[in-house]
């Protein structure tokens, strides 16, 4: 049984959503955030990445950074840039990117469900990132970025969501990458109760994106519960901000790799070395085909080396087809090429490897290699939603940077204030 609740959301005043809603805090660095904020009058980046309002180069984990975020949040509220709903609501969040449409429900989900693995994980988290978001939540007394969750689609839930969309949207604007953000506020108590009760029949939710935000919510929950002798479990800190999408609405894009050095190999020697585990062929596109090699199925990889694209195919017997993790292409590439040949033993910490989201296209890989910053690039076939859920169900974890979801949720669309609802 999954527990969700409506909440008194803090959201942009009418006509300001396009000036406020920003990319998630963790998809851009501080310098990129500073530049974006210059172009967006009231960017929510001032709240989720408040270091942009402080001197460049300072430690982003200093107390003054979080205090600046709180100051900015209070300023937005005082100036009525952000307004809070008078009663608890649910929020239907529709994202449209080209011909792809996905519709989710924004609600607060139970931290206890996360602790008890009813909200399932598929990634490890880093302690420093957990601590950063926990400090941010605790100082601002707010959850500012939603966690992206998945459930196995159910017709009865979808019909209730569609009922909530039988009116004009409360927000509708175009954001980054031409993504249309459409939000419907659900304030009808009968419909809210039906939706909440429908989710009680769901066995599990799956984290698509937001493992660190989930872990941070747990940290704040544990801290505040320990300090509250009258804890009941119904306090606002016992819940955290989420958007829940059906699995059949979602799209995972490829998450590609670039490596700085060839570990002493010449290009020809590298090609020879990888043939123990991969069939290798030079990619020669036909007139109607793309210049870059984009894998068309599982266990195919593209390799860009010295201005040429190669098609790599994992050889039968070089991976375990029955293991939900070892059958992943990101695992195959790591264990059969990146680690044994290029000596990338820990992709979580090795600064010789970088990861490039599929939204940037394979041209981005070519530019990084052609400009000399990196020596070789690998294009990947996207991990599937089914693979993600099977790994989470098995209580296993994916290798780092296995999934890249598009479109991204906007930060600042709705904020969950703690102790305010």
pLDDT tens string, the chain, 421 residues long: the values are 899 999 999 999 999 999 999 999 888 889 999 999 999 989 999 999 999 999 988 887 889 999 999 999 999 999 999 999 999 999 999 999 999 999 999 999 999 999 999 999 998 888 888 999 999 999 999 999 999 999 999 999 999 999 999 999 999 999 988 999 999 999 999 999 999 999 999 999 999 999 999 999 999 999 999 999 999 999 999 999 999 999 999 989 999 999 999 999 999 999 999 999 999 999 998 888 889 999 999 999 999 999 999 999 999 999 999 999 999 999 999 999 999 999 999 998 899 999 999 988 999 999 999 999 999 999 999 999 999 999 999 999 998 889 989 999 999 999 999 986 4
Nearest to 113 by CA among 253, 241, 1: 1
- CB-CB contact of 368 with 305 (8 Å): no
Note the pLDDT of residue 28: 84
Helix H or strand E segment including 377: strand 376-379
Note the pLDDT of residue 289: 82
Q: Which domains does the chain have, with CATH numbers?
A: 4-251+406-417 (no CATH), 252-403 (3.30.1760)
Report the C-alpha gap between 359 and 364 in whole angstroms.
10
DSSP string, 201-215: T---EEEEE-HHHHH
Helices 189-199 and 155-164: crossing angle in degrees, nearest 10, is 160
Note the pLDDT of residue 382: 95
Nearest to 72 by CA among 410, 416, 412: 412
Note the pLDDT of residue 412: 97
Note the pLDDT of residue 420: 61
- CB-CB contact of 358 with 296 (8 Å): no
Compute φ and ψ for 17, nearest 5 degrees.
-55, -45
Q: Where are the beta strands (DSSP E) in 195-332?
A: 205-209, 239-246, 252-253, 255-259, 278-282, 300-305, 308-314
Helix H or strand E segment including 64: helix 63-78
Computed from CA positions of residues 9, 136, 69, 22, in that sequence, does the dihedral angle turn out positive or negative?
Answer: negative
Residue 39 exposed, middle or buried by CB count within 10 Å (0-12, 13-18, 19+): exposed
Q: Where are the beta strands (DSSP E) in 77-221?
A: 82-84, 90-97, 100-110, 119-120, 142-143, 147-151, 171-174, 180-186, 205-209
- CB-CB contact of 208 with 95 (8 Å): no
Computed from CA positions of residues 107, 108, 114, 116, in that sequence, does the dihedral angle turn out positive or negative?
Answer: negative
- 129 CB neighbour count, 10 Å cutoff: 15
Report the C-alpha gap between 108 and 142 in whole angstroms.
12
- CB-CB contact of 237 with 419 (8 Å): yes
């Amino acid at each position: 049984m999954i527990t969700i609740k409506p909440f008194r959301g803090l959201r942009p005043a009418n006509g300001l959503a396009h000036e406020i809603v920003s990319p998630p805090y963790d998809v851009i660095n501080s310098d990129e955030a500073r530049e974006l904020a210059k172009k967006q009058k009231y960017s929510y980046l001032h709240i989720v990445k408040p270091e942009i309002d402080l001197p460049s180069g300072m430690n982003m984990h200093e107390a003054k950074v979080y205090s600046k975020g709180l100051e900015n949040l209070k300023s937005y509220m005082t100036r009525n840039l952000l307004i809070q709903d008078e009663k608890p609501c649910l929020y239907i969040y529709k994202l449209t990117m080209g011909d792809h449409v996905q519709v989710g429900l924004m609600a607060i989900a139970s931290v206890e469900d996360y602790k008890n693995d009813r909200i399932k994980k598929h990634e490890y988290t880093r302690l420093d990132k957990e601590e950063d978001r926990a400090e941010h939540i605790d100082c601002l007394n707010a959850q500012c970025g939603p966690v992206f969750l998945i459930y196995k689609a159910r017709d009865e839930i979808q019909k209730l969501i569609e009922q909530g969309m039988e009116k004009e949207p409360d927000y509708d604007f175009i954001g980054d990458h031409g993504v249309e953000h459409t939000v419907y506020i659900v304030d009808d108590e009968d419909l809210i109760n039906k939706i909440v009760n429908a989710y009680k029949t769901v066995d599990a939710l799956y984290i698509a994106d937001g493992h660190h935000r989930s872990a941070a919510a747990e940290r704040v929950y544990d801290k505040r519960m320990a300090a509250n002798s009258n804890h009941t479990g119904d306090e606002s800190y016992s819940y955290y901000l989420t958007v829940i999408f059906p699995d059949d609405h979602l799209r995972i894009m490829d998450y590609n790799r670039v490596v700085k050095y060839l570990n002493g190999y010449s290009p020809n020697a590298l090609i020879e070395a990888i043939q123990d585990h991969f069939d290798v062929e030079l990619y020669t596109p036909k007139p109607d085909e793309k210049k870059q090699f984009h894998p068309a199925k599982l266990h195919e990889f593209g390799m860009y080396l010295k201005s040429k694209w190669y098609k790599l195919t994992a050889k039968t017997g070089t991976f375990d087809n029955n293991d939900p993790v070892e059958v992943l292409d990101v695992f195959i590439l790591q264990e059969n090429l990146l680690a044994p040949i290029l000596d990338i033993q820990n992709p979580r910490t090795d600064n010789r490897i970088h990861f490039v989201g599929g939204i940037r296209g394979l041209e981005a890989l070519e530019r990084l290699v052609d400009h000399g910053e990196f020596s070789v690039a690998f294009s990947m076939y996207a991990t599937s939603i089914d693979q993600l859920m099977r790994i989470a169900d098995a209580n296993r974890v994916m290798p780092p940077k296995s999934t890249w979801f598009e479109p991204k949720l906007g930060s600042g669309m709705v904020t969950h204030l703690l102790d305010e609802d």
